[in-house]
Amino acid sequence: MPDSPKQSLRTAVAGVSGYAGGELARLLLRHPQLTSTPPIFLGRLSEPDVHPTPLTQLHPELSGLPFADELQVSAFDWKQLERESIDLLFLATPHEQSRAWVPDAIGHGMRVIDLSGAWRLHSDSLRAVYKLEDRDPAGAATLQAEAVYGSPELHGPAIKKATLVANPGCYSTSIILALAPLVRANLIDLGHGIICDAKSGVSGAGKALIPNNLFMHAADNLSAYAVFGHRHTGELLEQLNLAEDQIQFTPHLLPIPRGILSTIYVRLNKKCDRAEIQSIFDQFYFDAPFVRVRRSPQLPQIQYVVRTNFCDLGFQLSSDGLRLVLISCLDNLLKGAASQAVQNMNLMAGWHEAEGLL
């Protein structure tokens, strides 16, 4: 695809009813490049017979934004997308649905940003955690090989030309952005292993009525879950080129609505000083508008990133120069989902990646 900016972009969002879908709608409705071309909003496959519903009935907080009070959420319909000449389709849908719809969307000439985990993993064995089935395994394998992992900080040039962008997971984003500079610099003693202790607000699990996410369980509580089995682990292995026994990731549920704080413990393979570590992070993210590297010993906090597209990174180095603790914070619904998807859209359209996000 050409890198020249696209003057008019027709977008559609399938699956707008969820938390991330609502945030995505808010960002697109306010996007300065889409002021004359509001998105089309569609339901999920599980909602085929739903009559058109006012967008602001699903998300009253959007009322007053451009076009919001006029727009309807309709049942998903390929013919409608064709009539509207949609260029870019966002899928905020379950993994199975995204896996089935992406080949059809690309067959209709659309580019796709998928917010599910359906296309993030290239390894068949790692992707098996999603239990996906393909109607056309050979065709799906071809698309999977072409899918670009949608981390703008790591894969910006490829995202610009991509037909299919797999938006990263929220936990994955926080951990990968913290570790990538050190992995690329070959500074981590992988024999000692990496420990990732990550905590997320309750919105990370979506709107499904899961007992452990209900108020009576989550409030005044802190709990670990999916130990040795979280779906985002495969993204860490592939994007950081690590073996399974070189990293341990354990997620926890925080009694807050949104936000992620990841504490990551590593041992370095040589003695370093604070200035050297700081320089590695500063240079790696010198042109990344949404990664803020704190000055050690300052450390990120969730309250500094919530409702923003920023990922804040910080670290503390032990006095022996070998043990390093990294802290990474982001909003799981924004940099961990919706605003990262808009950042990818900006790159794909040839606009500045920060357009509509600051």
Q: E-strand spans in the chain? A: 11-14, 40-42, 53-54, 72-74, 88-91, 111-114, 148-149, 164-166, 194-200, 223-224, 247-253, 260-267, 291-293, 311-317, 323-330
Give the DSSP H or E segment for 28. Answer: helix 19-29
Pinpoint the residues of the chain covered by CATH 3.30.360.10.
170-330
Mean pLDDT to the nearest integer, 75-103:
95
**Average pLDDT, whole number, for the chain?**
93
Q: Does the structure show a pLDDT above 80 at 216?
A: no
Contacts of 272 (CB under 8 A, 6+ apart): 187, 317, 321, 322, 324
Instruction: Give the per-residue pLDDT at 217.
Output: 73
Alpha-carbon span 164 to 146, nearest angstrom: 7
| 256-312 residue pLDDT tens | 999 999 999 999 999 999 999 999 999 999 999 999 999 999 999 999 999 999 999
Residue 111 has pLDDT above 70, yes or no: yes
Arithmetic mean of pLDDT, 204-231? 77
Mean pLDDT, rounded, for 81-105: 96
What is this structure's pTM?
0.94
Domain 170-330, CATH? 3.30.360.10
pLDDT for 210: 67
CATH 3.40.50.720-classified regions of the chain: 11-167+337-349
pLDDT digits (tens, 9 = 90+) for 9-43: 999 999 998 899 999 999 999 999 999 999 999 98
In angstroms, rounded to a whole number, what is the distance separating the alpha carbons of residues 265 and 195? 5
pLDDT of residue 1: 45
Written as one string, the DSSP assignment of 48-79 is TTPPPEEHHHH-GGGTTSTTTTT-EEE---HH
Count Cα neighbours of 103 within 13 Å in the Cβ-side half-sphere.
15
> How many distinct helices (H) and strands (E) make up the chain?
12, 15
- Say how many CA atoms lie within 13 Å of 86 toward its Cβ: 27
- The mean per-residue pLDDT over the stretch 136-163 comes to 98
CA 326, chain centre distance (Å): 20
pLDDT of 2 > 50? The answer is no
Mean pLDDT of 233-253: 97
Predicted confidence (pLDDT) per residue in 58-73, tens digit: 999 999 999 999 999 9
- At residue 83, the pLDDT reads 94
Give catalytic status of residue 311 as yes or no.
no
CA distance 171 to 208: 19
pLDDT over 90 percentage in the chain = 87
11-167+337-349: CATH topology is: Rossmann fold (3.40.50)
Selected catalytic residue, list 170, 196, 311, 329: 170
Give the 3-state secondary structure of residue 224: strand
